[in-house]
A and B are shown apart, each in its own frame.
Chain A
């Protein structure tokens, strides 16, 4: 490997470059500091932003790209965003399994004739005779189950705000077959609407190994002439919350109270 000493002219150029760089850096720092000061005086308190380096290091979750625009309330926002379908684990986890080798399989339609086959993760075909629907328990055990298409929809009235607690999976529309059925559904829709309630369906299935809970919401036109019954299907709650009894509940349950101090009757 050969090394050589830089010429005097080169050394001079390097020194000059370093000096200029140092000057630029100090100017940039000053500008940055003054901007921060200005921002402090003008903007309301905001959560501290992540340092640029740290933010760059944290990888963004993958998703589809878009820009979000909002212009109202004195705000004019244009932000680069990403979005993705929210995934929720179902309360009842089910899967189709080949009972011979215990591999999870899914249905696929292949070929021009759309032949239905059961394939595993590696794409290997499995005999449909061995495929069984199972419920996957929390401890990992698999229990064979049978889920049939719902033909009797049992509805119970519940407060409408319960719907906010459940994550929507899909929506169905329900309508009556003949005039009598339509009238009966109209009564149901109006009664639910008047009472601020929705109809809860504790179990609903299309019959393909998935079970949902449903909420039938009445939608009534302004003039009251037409109505729609919409059923929201859900696989799980939006979030699970932990619950505590309040002081009121504890008192009601007879929480031991401290007695008033008394003077002992000794003298």
Chain B
């Protein structure tokens, strides 16, 4: 499962780089695309991020 630490990393990155794609986030944080996708899904459920376009 995606840890809270990964969720926090992804959220911090989106805060600093609004409009980033999953691939950009994965490359920048050196995370697997699955981890980033899961983290974003969970963050979206928490109401902390939203997809645009």
Question: Which residues from chain A sit less than 8 Å from chain B, CB to CB?
Answer: 91, 156-159, 161-162, 165, 200, 202, 213, 237, 240-246, 248-250, 252-253
B1/A253 in contact, CB under 8 A: no
- In B16-53, the 8 Å CB interface with A consists of 18-23, 25, 32-34, 37-38, 40-42, 47-53
A245/B51 in contact, CB under 8 A: no
Please give me the residue from chain B that is nearest to A158 by CB atom: B38
Sample (23) of A-B pairs whose CB atoms are under 8 Å apart = A156-B34, A158-B38, A162-B41, A202-B34, A213-B34, A237-B33, A241-B51, A242-B20, A242-B53, A243-B22, A243-B25, A243-B49, A243-B50, A244-B19, A244-B49, A244-B51, A244-B52, A245-B11, A245-B15, A246-B49, A246-B50, A249-B15, A253-B15
A-B contact number at CB 8 A = 82
Are A249 and B48 also in contact (CB < 8 A) when A237-B22, A243-B40, A244-B14 are?
yes
A158/B20 in contact, CB under 8 A: no
Q: How many residues on the B side are at the interface (Cβ–Cβ under 8 A)?
A: 27
Nearest chain B CB to A199's CB is how many angstroms away? 11
B23/A158 in contact, CB under 8 A: no
Chain A residues in 8 Å Cβ range of B53: 241-242
Are A241 and B48 also in contact (CB < 8 A) when A156-B1, A213-B33, A250-B15 are?
no
Question: Which residues from chain B sit less than 8 Å from chain A, CB to CB?
Answer: 1-2, 11, 14-15, 18-23, 25, 32-34, 37-38, 40-42, 47-53
Chain B residues in 8 Å Cβ range of A213: 33-34
A249/B11 in contact, CB under 8 A: yes
Chain A residues in 8 Å Cβ range of B49: 243-246, 249
Chain A residues in 8 Å Cβ range of B37: 162, 165, 237
Chain B residues in 8 Å Cβ range of A202: 32, 34
Chain B residues in 8 Å Cβ range of A241: 21-22, 51-53
Please give me the residue from chain A that is nearest to B1 by CB atom: A157
Nearest chain B CB to A231's CB is how many angstroms away? 14
Complex Cα–Cα for A7 and B23 (A): 78
